[in-house]
Structure 1
Amino acid sequence: MACRISELVIDAADPDRLAAFWSDVLGYVELDREGDGSIAIGPPDAGFGGPQPILVFSPASDPRTEKLRLHIDVNATDRDQDAELERLLALGARPVDIGQTGTESWHVLADPEGNEFCLLRTRLKPL
């Protein structure tokens, strides 16, 4: 038997802001709020333990000082990459240069707190 990723926990200076951003990006909804200020978001019809991992934004006041060692990749499900890039930028993502050559088939972006993520070219079927 193997493990499954059930949730990704992301430190956040403003958990509300990141939960709202990533809910818009992924079509997720708020699932839970903890007393410590953590906010869990996930697919509206599945929640924890479903086919996709949930995201938990945990309050943290420590400033990030270097590039993340882990990042999220996303793929559009209902539009091409250019249209999805426009949507993500309108939601508050911003382009980030981490040394790309300009020939990549993906876009490197950052969420409102500077966490890098990539928009890949391939369109995936919705779950």
Structure 2
Amino acid sequence: MACRISELILDCADPERLAAFWCEVLGYVELGREDDGSIEIGPPGAGFGGPQPTLILSPSTTPRAGKLPLHIDVNPTDRDQDAELRRLLALGARPADVGQTGTENWHVLVDPEGNEFCLLNRRIQPV
């Protein structure tokens, strides 16, 4: 075996707000806070080192220039894509236009700070 992704770090203006958003989206819980204001969230009962990576929302005052070179893809686990899209929009996600043709089977969204992520079509089993 080689390496495995254990954490994803996202610089953000408001770690509290994004931690709450992503906890709701992913069913994660807060795992810890650092003195610098970073908040780590992850799967309940597993945390760091579990089967899914944790997210660290790290405070930053540096403005982001342009599109992030990496984005998150999510899949619904307990409902179809349309129902999940409605849930994500109610949580504060917004549709994003990155040049889609309209024939894609995924939705491009942004979180409350404008970070792009995609809602894919296929339902997968929760971990």
Which bracket does the TM-score occupy, shorter chain normalised? over 0.9
Which residue of structure 2 lines up, in the alignment, with residue 71 of structure 1? 71
Give the TM-score of the pair, scaled to structure 2. Answer: 0.99
SS in 2 for 1:19: helix
The answer for the alignment partner of 1:9 in structure 2 is: 9
**4+ residue runs over 2 A deviation:** none
Unaligned runs of 5+ in 2: none
Measured against aligned partners, the alpha-carbon deviations of 1:49-91 in whole angstroms (never above 9, x if no partner) come to 0000000000000111201110000000000000000000000
The alignment yields a C-alpha RMSD, in angstroms, of 0.4
* Aligned residue number for residue 118 of structure 1: 118
> Take 1:9 and 1:126, find their aligned partners in 2: how far apart are those partners?
22
List aligned pairs for 1:79-90, cutoff 5 A: 79-90=79-90
Other structure's SS at 1:118 match: strand
Q: Percent identity?
A: 76
2-structure distance, mates of 1:115, 1:60: 14
Partners in 2 of 1:6 and 1:35 — Cα distance?
Answer: 21
The match for 2:108 is 108
TM-score by length of 1: 0.99
2:84 is paired with a residue whose SS is: helix
SS of the aligned residue for 1:109 comes to: strand
User: In the TM superposition, what is the alpha-carbon distance from 1:41 to its structure 2 partner?
Assistant: 0.1
Could you give the per-residue CA deviations for residues 16-56 of structure 1, whole angstroms, max 9, x where no partner exists? 00000000000000000000000000000100000000000
Q: Secondary structure at the match of 2:89?
A: helix
Please report how far the alpha carbon of residue 126 of structure 1 lies from its aligned counterpart in structure 2 after TM superposition.
1.0
Aligned length: 127
Whole-angstrom distance in 2 between the partners of 1:45 and 1:102 = 39
